[in-house]
Amino acid sequence: MSAQQLEAFDPQVRRAMLALMAEVTARDEQLRAKDALIQQRERDAAFKQALIDKLTHELAVLKRMKFAATSEKFAGSAEQRSLLEDTLDADLAELGQEMKRLGLDVDAAADKGDKKTPKRKALPPHLPRRDVHHEPANTLCSCGCQMLRIGEDVAEKLDYQPGVFTVERHVRGKWACRKCERLVQAPVPSHVIDKGIPTTGLLAQVLVAKFLDHMPLYRQEGVFMRAGHVIARSTLAQWVGECGALLQPLVDALAEELRRHAVLHADETPVAMLKPGNGKTHRAYMWSYCTTSSNSTKAVVFDFSETRNGENVRQFLKLGTATAWNGTLVTDGFSGYRACFEQGVTSAQCMAHARRKFHELWVNHGSEVGRQALRFHQSLFRIERDIEEETPAERRRIRQRKSRRVLAVFHRWLLAQRQLVPPGSATSKAIDYSLNRWSGLTHFVEDGDVPISNNWVENHIRPIALGRSNWLFAGSLRGGKRAAAIMSLLHTARINGHEPYAYLKDVLERLPTHPASRIDELLPHRWAPSA
């Protein structure tokens, strides 16, 4: 109804009609809000169902792969088959954890024909035992009577100190009131693996040995056997998978922390990835992202992918989204990073990679051009060593005064030498490498936070190369990403001066009851041991 039509009514009627119209409008708004809420819940339900369908499908695929791996048709070596079985068991355990978080009954999702889980054997009686008592904080009954201890429940968990197994007996006393028959007992302590036998010490040992000391699970099985207890590799793999799922939110928080910094390093290294069925391997990649060595926050995050496509970097940096990272990325000359720079990321290239081209000329051919170029690089890196402890502002000032002069002479020299060598020669390729990337190679002069080279991140990737025999991910993208996640925490703890085993053991103890809103407190660079 229009304003002119309302004017025709009596004032009292007009006020009543206005009030009625306001009420109708308010109810329309409420209905629209409810409709929006219903649509959002329908979208959430559809997303959750799609995720459940995806995980259920992946579970079925993994079960078929596991059957194929244990059959005689598997073509790989005994070692490859062992690694494949370990990864599949770990993947199945991690999937189980994810499905539990979604409220899905894992047993219902499993095939009905699966064999029942074998009954757990009692822990060997010869192992030393240590009692951990859990008693109620107050044994005074609400009726005023002092309660009596009438029994206890005991749960045994297998603990491990390097080279020695012990049994940790969790004794929960039962207290009862004779008068009102009230029973009180301390609650069951939270554990990383619900109803499992391993303590956090044993879980931390398995993870550190596999992902930091490069010991596959079949080797750890032998080590534990010599220490007096047999733990099946399938059991170890299940522990690894469940821990990987529970630690993932912490790794996600670490990646978010990394993306808050304006300057990052990035690099990638190939790792062998085993495909089931034919026993052959193909090349996958482990990407590494870290803060600079001069940054007060020391953090490194690994990311596993099946390809070397630059899309992996863009996804990690969330390019093309509302929360895209737009800082300076220090890289080598790999062309896969180029698309990042086209989307707003600033390029800073590694001077050490340019230096290597001339070093090869000098070492392999005794090239005078290579020798002279190395002298320019020597001057630049000497300046960097002298100012590495300075503030970013002071580093920039000194670079502007000293490094800029060296680079100006170096650039003129490169242009002159390029005119003297034939195209296609090793010397021309070395010179072209620097000239074509000159803007990125010299960006460090303009920004005191940017390092001259990418050596810092390469040092973090180097330990991966030492354990290549342990990086056969059995064709499992999930297994590769789990390894990358756990290694991110262990290596970040190490570069922050923490003992990785102590850090991981403490985090695994606190994680089951730690509030999700305070997950940042458990990040390696913020971690403080429990009192």
Per residue in 173-186, pLDDT tens? 999 998 888 999 99
Q: What is the pLDDT of residues 46-94, one digit of tens each?
A: 777 777 777 776 666 666 666 555 444 444 555 555 555 666 677 777 7
**Of 191, 213, 214, 188, nearest in space to 201 by CA:** 191
Instruction: Count Cβ atoms below 10 Å from residue 517 Cβ, excluding itself.
Output: 7
Point out the least confidently predicted range of 141-150, 193-202, 269-278, 435-444: 269-278
pLDDT at position 330, please? Answer: 95
Last residue of one domain, picked from the residues 466, 484, 519? 466
pLDDT of residue 13: 63
Domain extent for 148:
124-195
Closest CA to 358 of 344, 372, 347: 372
pLDDT > 70: percent of the chain: 83
10-38 pLDDT tens trace? 666 667 767 777 888 888 888 888 888 88
Look at residue 318 and tell me if it is in a domain. Answer: yes
| Mean pLDDT across the chain | 84
Query: For 196-230, what is each residue's pLDDT tens digit?
Result: 889 999 999 999 999 888 888 888 998 888 887 88
**What pLDDT, on a 0 to 100 scale, did the predictor assign at position 433?**
94
8 band by pLDDT with thresholds 50, 70 and 90: low
Which of 141-145, 199-203, 402-406 has the lowest average pLDDT?
141-145
Q: Is residue 517 part of a domain?
A: no
Asked, for residue 4, whether it belongs to a domain, the answer is no
Q: Are residues 261 and 345 in the same domain?
A: yes
The single-letter DSSP state of residue 369 is H
In a domain, 105, yes or no: no
Task: Give the bridge partners for 130, in sequence order.
Answer: 168
Same domain, residue pair 170 and 309: no
Of 466, 492, 508, the position where a domain reaches its end is 466
The H-or-E segment that residue 264 falls in is: strand 263-274
What would the pLDDT profile of 331-361 be if each residue is shown by its tens digit?
998 888 998 999 999 999 999 999 999 999 9
Whether residues 169 and 265 fall in one domain: no
Instruction: Kindly state whether residues 270 and 373 are assigned to the same domain.
Output: yes
Q: What whole-number distance in Å separates Cα of residue 207 and Cα of residue 239?
A: 9
Task: Looking at the structure, tell me whether residues 307 and 394 fall in a common domain.
Answer: yes
What residues contact 435, with CB distance under 8 A and at least 6 apart? 411, 414, 415, 418
Q: Could you tell me if 439 and 239 are in contact, meaning their C-beta atoms sit under 8 angstroms apart?
A: no
pLDDT at residue 121 in the model: 76
**Residue 289 covered by a domain:** yes
Q: Are residues 165 and 278 in the same domain?
A: no
459 and 310: one domain?
yes
List all residues 6 or more positions away from 340 whose beta carbon is below 8 Å from its beta carbon. 310, 313, 314, 317, 319, 329
For residue 486, pLDDT beyond 50? yes
Residue 53, in any domain of the structure: no
Across the range 489-497, mean pLDDT stands at 94
Q: Domain check: are 313 and 426 in the same one?
A: yes
Beta bridge partners of residue 134, listed in sequence order: 172
Q: Per residue, what are the HEC states of 436-502?
A: HCHHHHCHHHCCCCCCCCCHHHHHHHHHHHHCHHHCCCCCCHHHHHHHHHHHHHHHHHHHCCCCHHH
The pLDDT, as a whole number, for residue 56 is: 73
The answer to whether the CB of 83 falls within 8 A of the CB of 472 is yes
Residue 74 lies in a domain: no
Boundary of a domain, candidates 432, 466, 500:
466
DSSP assignment letter at 158 = E
Mean pLDDT, range 499-513, rounded to an integer: 93
| Domain contains 374 | yes
**Running DSSP on this structure, what letter comes out for residue 399?**
I
Which is it for strands 328-331 and 300-305: parallel, antiparallel or unpaired? unpaired
* Long-range Cβ pairs for the range 218-223 (8 Å, 24+): 218/79, 218/82, 218/83, 218/86
% residues pLDDT > 90 (the chain): 43
Q: Label residue 113 by pLDDT band (50, 70, 90).
A: very low
Distance separating alpha carbons of residues 48 and 42, to the nearest angstrom:
10
* Statement to judge: residues 370 and 273 lie in one domain: yes
Q: How many domains does the chain have?
A: 2
What per-residue confidence (pLDDT) applies to 112?
43
Query: Which residues, in sequence order, are CB contacts of 357 under 8 Å at separation 6+?
Result: 429, 430, 433, 434
Separation between Cα atoms, residue 255 and residue 234, nearest integer Å: 30
Min mean pLDDT across 158-162, 336-340, 443-447 is at 158-162
Task: Label residue 276 by pLDDT band (50, 70, 90).
Answer: low
Least confident of 18-27, 92-101, 236-245: 92-101
Cβ atoms of residues 314 and 343 within 8 Å: yes
Six token digits for residue 74: 């598997």
Rounded Cα gap, residues 209 and 47, in angstroms:
37
pLDDT the model gives residue 453: 94
